[in-house]
Amino acid sequence: MRKPRAAVGSRSRCRKQASSQEGREKRALSSSQAKPSAPDGLARQQEEVRLQAPVSPYHLFRDTAEVTVFRKSLLSWYDREKRDLPWRRRVEGEVDLDRRAYAVWVSEVMLQQTQVATVIDYYNRWMQKWPTLQDLASASLEEVNQLWAGLGYYSRGRRLQEGARKVVEELGGHMPRTAETLQWLLPGVGRYTARAIASIAFGQATGVVDGNVVRVLCRVRAIGADPSSTLVSQQLWSLAQQLVEPARPGDFNQAAMELGATVCTPQRPLCSQCPVQSLCRAHQRVEREQLSASRSPPGSRDVEECAPNTGQCQLCAPPTEPWDQTLGVANFPRKVSRRPPREECSATCVLEQPRALGGARILLVQRPNSGLLAGLWEFPSVTAEPSGQHQRKALLQKLQSWVGPVPATRLRHLGQVCFSLLTLPPGGPHLLSHQADISSIRSGPGRTDPSGHCTTWSSLADPGGVSHRCCLHRHEKGVPCIRGPAARDLQGFQKIPGVHPVQMEKAQRRPASPG
C-alpha cells in the first residue's frame, strides 16, 4: 500500500506543492472548457427574464440574525443527535486531504438513490478493499461491479472508478480542491456531489441541495411551487449558500441532510423534535390554519402569509392545489408528477449447453458500454414489437451471429415476463415497463460475435458471480418469470427458495467454449 505524503515540510515547499496542484487543475480545467454549459439565443433570454422575477420576502431569510439563529440551532442539534456512520468516522480521523476527499466521494456516490442502512455494509467492504484512489484505479471493472452487486444504478460504480483513474493518471493522484474543479474534471460528479466533497473534505463554504435539503428548505420557507423547476431549484441553491456556516461548512451541510433524513421526513415528520421549528413557515402555516376557522374573518390575511404585490407568487403552490389540512407541513414540498411508464418489448432466449464440462451452462451477452444498464450481462435478446410478429426469426438470426448455427426446431416458447425499471436519465426519473417473451433452446458450441459483441457461457452451479446475477422461478400458473426488486434494476435479483442463481464465471472478451 502506498504511504500518504508527509504533511510537514518547509513553507516554500508547501507553497510549491499548492502551486503545482493549482496549476494542474487550471490546465485540466482549461482543456475541458469546451463543454456546453447553458442554452443560448432566445431560449436563454427567456429563461433569464423568468429567473429575474421578484421573490416575496416571505420565502427568504430577511436578516443576518435569523440566519445566525438557524445555523446555531441546527449545528447544536447535529452535535447532539448525529448518527454514527462509517464515512463520518473515517473523514474525522483522516489527515490526508486526498484520502478524506476519496472517502467522502465514495459515500456520496453510494448514497445517491440508496438508503443509509443499505450503504453501510457496501461502504465498509469497498473501503477495506480499495482504501485509496490508487487502489481503486488499479482494480478491474468486473471487480467493481462484483462488489457493487445489489446496490443498484451500476453506472455509479463505473464512473467512480473512471474518476479515480483520471485523478491518478492526469492529476498526479491529487483530488481537485474546489467544487468547481471537482465538477468539471471528474466524470459523474455533478453539482451536489462536488459541493459535498468540497465542503466536507476541504472546508469550502459552499451549500448543498439534495432531496432531504429540498424538503427542509421548502418547509422552512413555505415554498410550494414545483421544486424541480428551474426557478425553484435556483432559489433553493441560493438559500443553501446563504445559510451554510463558513466556519463549519461540512458539518452544516451534513446537519441539513440529517435533519431531512431523520426529523423532517416525507411523511409523519417529527416537528416537536425539530431544532428550527421556530423559523419554519410550514409549521406556522399549520398553526394558522388550525386557528383560522374560529378566530379569523373569512378572507383575512395573516401578516406572516405570503402577499406578493402583483400576480401569483412563483414560489407558492398554484391555486389549483389548495392546502390539505390532513397533511400539515407535508403539504411542502409539492409532489412532482411522474412520467408515465415507457413500454418496451423484447424477445429473450435462455440458451443452454446441458452437457458442458462441469455442469450445464447458459449463454450471457454483455450490454453496450453506454445507455441503460451499460456493460452488464443478460440473456440474449432482441427488441420486438408488442404484436410478437417476426420475433422468432429475429431472435434466431441474432443467436446465430453469436454462437453459430442454431436449430430452429429446438427453439421453444416458454411464456411472458413483465417487470419495471426505474432509471435516471439527464431529463429526470422515469419508469420503464418491460415485457419480454422468454424462449429456451439447447445448443452446442458457440462463438464470439463477428462484430465484436462480448458473449460468454456461464455455469449454473458456479457461485463466483462477477457482474450479473439473476434468478428464474416458476409463476403460480407455471409461467417462467424473472423477478427483481420493484422499481430498481435487473441486478441484485431476490433469491427465491428452490431457485438456482445464474451467475458469471469470468466476464472477459473471449470465444464461447463448446459444451
SS3 category, 457: strand
Q: Give backbone dihedrals phi and psi of 381, rounded to 5 degrees, phi first.
A: -155, 160
Measured distance CA(161)–CA(130) in Å, rounded: 11
How far apart are the C-alpha atoms of 263 and 160, rounded to whole Å? Answer: 31
CA atoms lying within 13 Å on the CB side of residue 63: 3
Q: What angle do CA 236, 237, 243 make, to 5 degrees?
A: 90
Find, among 465, 462, 464, 502, the residue nearest to 483 by Cα.
Answer: 502
Calculate the alpha carbon distances from 17 to 5, 174, 185 in Å. 11, 11, 19
Q: Annotated active-site positions, please?
A: 108
Considering only CA atoms, which of 418, 429, 439, 431 is closest in space to residue 484? 418
Alpha helices in 385-503 (DSSP H): 391-403
How far apart CA 205 and CA 503 sit, in angstroms, is: 46
Cell of 449: 460475435
Which position has the grid cell 506543492? Answer: 17
State the pairing for strand pair 469-474/480-482: antiparallel
